[in-house]
Amino acid sequence: MINAIFKYSFMQNAVLAAVMASVICGIIGTIIVEKKLVSMSGGIAHSSFGGIGLGYLLNVPPILTGMLFAILASISLPMIKRKTDTNADTLIGVFWATGMALGILFIGLTPGYPPDMTSYLFGDILTVSSLYLVLMGILGVILVVLLTSMFKYWRIYLFDEAYMKVLKINVNWFEKILYIMIAMSIVLLIKVVGMILAIALLTIPPAIAKLYSKNLGRLMITSTVISLGISLLGLTLSYYFNIPSGATIILLAAVLYMISYYIKKILFK
């Protein structure tokens, strides 16, 4: 594995992507789990497919248009819910289906041979480009700065919004920032594990960490370490056995969750 990393640039990119994806998952994934935003995140992920299709149609990097669609969806979902009092699950279903339908339509309208969407649906960390790495690095830095500089406010937002309002802190501002960060994180994880599996990578490591700790800071650090270990092991197995990297990473995460759950059940009866 080490020789392969130093020999091939695509392996170097894959390892860097795994490290940065782990930081993103450790921070954003913990927040998603604590705020119970898994379903909404799934809607955002599938909404981004419309942007990816538009990118191919306009011949621009699909990651950029996909991120635009995801951000628009993340901002629109809570806004529409507040103004129309529509059930959140209904809105998520609408955005989910609309994004996928637009993506299929745009891909169908793209001139020439239709692009292969397999890597976007199921992920392929071995094909991560330099653009992805730059964007993941920027997002990782932004997340760390936002979290560390206002950690106590984020903790209040996650566990007691009513108290935050008493302190006259703008809750809507934190909500918008959070949803935009979720949207960007999901799109950047698509190339690592795919659109279908991105939510699993965001939620399983924090769920494992939560079995043994309730402290927010410790949860994020533990989730990052777990995500990194799973990603690197999955990458290694996929490289040597020539199997899909995204699916391998998620299956390892699921197995680790089940093992962790039963260990806790046995040790802490």
> What DSSP line would sit under 45-100, residue for residue?
HHHHHHHHHHHHHHTS-HHHHHHHHHHHHHHHHHHHHHHH---HHHHHHHHHHHHH
What pLDDT is attached to residue 51? 93
Would you state the pLDDT for residue 205? Answer: 93
Percentage of the chain lying above the pLDDT 70 cut: 97
pTM above 0.95, yes or no: no
User: Looking at residues 98-125, what average pLDDT do you find?
Assistant: 85
Helix (H) or strand (E) holding 8: none
Given a cut of 60, is residue 2 above it in pLDDT? no
Kindly tell me if the per-residue pLDDT of 83 is higher than 80: no
Task: For the chain, give the mean pLDDT.
Answer: 86
Q: Quick one: average pLDDT of 149-168?
A: 84
- In this predicted structure, what is the pLDDT of residue 223? 93
- Tell me, what DSSP letter sits at residue 36? T
Tell me the average pLDDT across 99-120: 86
pLDDT above 70: residue 169: yes
Of 70-79, 118-127, 247-256, the one with minimum mean pLDDT is 118-127
CB-CB contact of 86 with 116 (8 Å): no
**pLDDT value at residue 132:** 83
Q: Could you tell me if 46 and 157 are in contact, meaning their C-beta atoms sit under 8 angstroms apart?
A: no
- Local confidence band at 3 (pLDDT 50, 70, 90 cut-offs): low
Confidence of residue 172 (pLDDT cuts 50, 70, 90): confident
The mean pLDDT value for 233-240 works out to: 86
34 CB contacts (<8 Å, ≥6 apart)? 158, 159, 206, 216, 219
- CB burial class (10 A; 0-12, 13-18, 19+) of residue 50? buried
Assess whether pLDDT exceeds 70 at residue 6.
no
CB-based contacts of 62, cutoff 8 Å, min separation 6: 51, 52, 53, 54, 55, 56, 120
In three state form, how does the secondary structure of 161-230 look? HHHHHHCCCCHHHHHHHHHHHHHHHHHHHHHHHCCCCHHHHHHHHHHHHHCCCCCHHHHHHHHHHHHHHH
CATH superfamily of 2-267: ABC transporter involved in vitamin B12 uptake, BtuC (1.10.3470.10)
CB 29 within 8 A of CB 41: no
Dist. CA 46–CA 66, nearest whole Å: 10
> CA-CA distance, 245 to 239, in Å (whole number)?
8
What pLDDT was estimated at residue 5? 56
Least confident of 42-56, 108-122, 247-261: 108-122
Tell me, what's the pLDDT at 230? 92
